[in-house]
Structure 1
Amino acid sequence: MLVAATVHFPYMTAWPERASAGHRAATEAGFRRLGQAIADAGIDTLVVFTSEHIVNLQPRMAPPFVVGVGERHAAFPEPQFKLAPQARPGDPALAQEIVSGLYARGFDPAHSIELRLDHGTTLPLAQLGIAPDAAVIPVIINSLFAPLPPLARCRALGGAVADIVGRSALGRRVGVLATGGLSHIVGAPGMERNDPDFDADFVQALVAGELERACAYPDAMLDRIGNGTHEIRNWVAAAGAAQARRPTVVTSIAYAPGWDSGVHQLLWEAA
């Protein structure tokens, strides 16, 4: 199973010209490489461990995990980020298998036939050039409303999803994509900064296969670094899905001035 991870910050589509030519070129090349790897793998269905931004999750109802089981996933309009609201087909049969399989493994995910995809999902799918007819199963991990699912639980979720997909009799060629992170602040003072030291430490833990270390950051520490940093849960889930394999660093930009973010992308080649 091919597994990939990428940032999804919207400045790259809203204001691409704010970044240097070199940073733009490196980011575009990274998306091309990941997109080509997904295409070369002949993937039918892409399971996306993703975050969202108060489109589906709300303070009144914020389960730790939500699986999109619908026939089609509508896109939440975000013209301010220059994103076309492209709906994506789902894979209800496999999504239902994932939900049932997670129940059997001690997880209790929510599920929805009406998930809407915001830039956390639509942006990377578009930048990767994922074909419009490729099926997507979004798995939203709550990174907004505390208490949040523990990092170790997210890693276990990824491993469970990989196991369920591997046992499926549907015959799908499945890939996994994680989006979000790494260190950043959303909707609060300090949105212009990140923490390159944290990003480097987290990526190094994944590259070294040290998932215990990648899951050991306390939530209080992530809060101090930036509320958006909780999106590393998606990357930890992807690492769990990849099992013992180690990723290759595709893109590593510590900080891109103008985009106010680091740019990081990883690829776990298919076994």
Structure 2
Amino acid sequence: MSAPGRVVGAFAASHSPGITGWPERVAPDVRDTIEQAYREVAKRIADLQPDALVVVSVEHFTNFNLGNLPAFAIAAGDSYLGPVTAEMAEFVNVSQRNHPGAANLGRHLYKFALDSEFDPSLVGGGLDFDENFSVPLKHLDPETTYPLVPVIVNGVNPPWPTPKRCYDFGRMIRDGVAAQSEYQRVVVLATGGLSHWVGLPESGRINEEFDQDFIGRLTDGDAGRLTDYTREEIDAAGNGAHEIRTWLVAAGAAQTGFDVLAYAAVPEWLTGTAVAAARL
């Protein structure tokens, strides 16, 4: 009988389109620090030799809309196109590619979620990527090596799932991976955040105080502190800061603290930009 699968790594990174689309606008030392952190994560993932990546991000209305915006969604397709259009590919400077899907793992996690009292949407196929997945995967999986299970968390429009619900969803993913044996080694990758404002006059502002506080909680790894956020506290870091919910999913899957490999307030990318790795 095969051994149960396990989460062998968990990582989190920002996905601002500027990271790949206009890196030259940022001071070279800042850019090099961020890009080196991405390279380090890419190396660590390769060293872990995962059978699949569970990639957690938000939905920018590429696939869903305000009339159909689930709190959580799990995809179980055979492949995923990213970026979704040639125009998007040019905007983020990522060539269009088809990423392989870990369809069986996606279906398993969906069923396991239902059995665990979660009610995510199931996307059987046709989930397309924008900067949410395409920007980090350009750095972390440039050859589309790893089969993916994309997971969507609503971090763009209220009402949102609570921080604790997101953390618990990540813990459910960890347990779900352990409840199957087809995919022995699974890496969880979260993308989004940190502080930023989208489509508002404050766009370009960075709330470094919020970012550093969140980084401290992430480093510590205490679930209570990580999930003890009110809507108003996150709002103070911008409507885009609600994307930290994806990081909370990764933290729940890791069940340990993270090392932050890089952080910089980058107005040119409109985002408090960070890259982190769980101490697994």
Query: 1:109 and 2:116 equivalent?
Result: no
The 5-angstrom pairing of residues 1-271 of structure 1 reads: 1-75=8-82, 76-77=84-85, 78=88, 79-112=90-123, 113-243=125-255, 245-253=256-264, 255-270=265-280
Preserved contact between residue 222 and residue 257 of structure 2 (Cα < 8 Å): no
Partner amino acid, structure 1, of 2:122: H
User: What CA distance in whole angstroms lies between the structure 1 residues aligned with 2:177 and 2:250?
Assistant: 14
User: Matches of 1:16 and 1:174 in 2, distance apart?
Assistant: 30
Superposed CA deviations along residues 138-160 of structure 1, whole A, max 9, x for unmatched, are 10001122211111000000000
Q: Which runs of 5+ in 2 are unaligned?
A: 1-7
Q: Deviations over 1:63-108 (max 9, x none)?
A: 1011110111122121222221222111111111100000000001
Do the aligned residues in 2 keep the contact of 1:42 with 1:173 (CA within 8 Å)? yes
Q: For 2:157 and 2:272, locate their aligned partners in 1 and report how far apart those are by CA, in whole Å.
A: 24
Structure 1 residue ranges without an equivalent (≥5): none
Amino acid at match of 1:263: T
CA distance in structure 2 between the aligned counterparts of 1:57 and 1:46, rounded to whole angstroms:
22
Give, in whole Å, the separation in 2 of the partners of 1:172 and 1:114.
Answer: 26
- How far 1:13 sits from its partner (Å)? 1.5
Counterparts of 1:248 and 1:152, CA distance in 2 = 21
Distance 1:130 1:101, change over 3 A: farther
Number of equivalenced pairs: 268
Give the % identical residues.
33
**Which amino acid letter does the alignment assign opposite residue 172 of structure 1?**
Q
- For the 8 Å contact 1:67–1:140, the answer to whether it is kept is yes
* C-alpha separation in 2, matches of 1:224 and 1:197: 10
Quote how far apart the aligned CAs of 1:188 are.
1.2
Query: Judging changes above 3 Å, is the alpha-carbon distance between structure 1 residues 12 and 214 closer, same or farther for their aligned structure 2 residues?
Result: same
Measured in 2, the distance between the counterparts of 1:129 and 1:54 equals: 24
Q: SS in structure 1 opposite 2:268?
A: coil
1:262: Cα distance to partner? 2.3
| 8 Å CA contact 2:205, 2:267 repeated in 1 | no
SS at match of 2:236: helix
Check conservation: 1:86, 1:122, Cα contact below 8 A: no
Q: Normalising by structure 1, what TM-score?
A: 0.95
Output the CA distance in 2 between the equivalents of 1:82 and 1:133. Answer: 19
Q: What do you get for the CA RMSD once the two structures are aligned?
A: 1.3
| Contact 1:184/1:226, CA 8 A, preserved across alignment | yes
> Is the deviation greater in 201-210 or in 217-226?
217-226
Deviations along 1:241-267, one digit per CA (max 9) or x if unpaired, are 001x221121122x1243333221110
Provide the C-alpha distance between the structure 2 equivalents of 1:46 and 1:98, rounded to a whole number of angstroms: 13
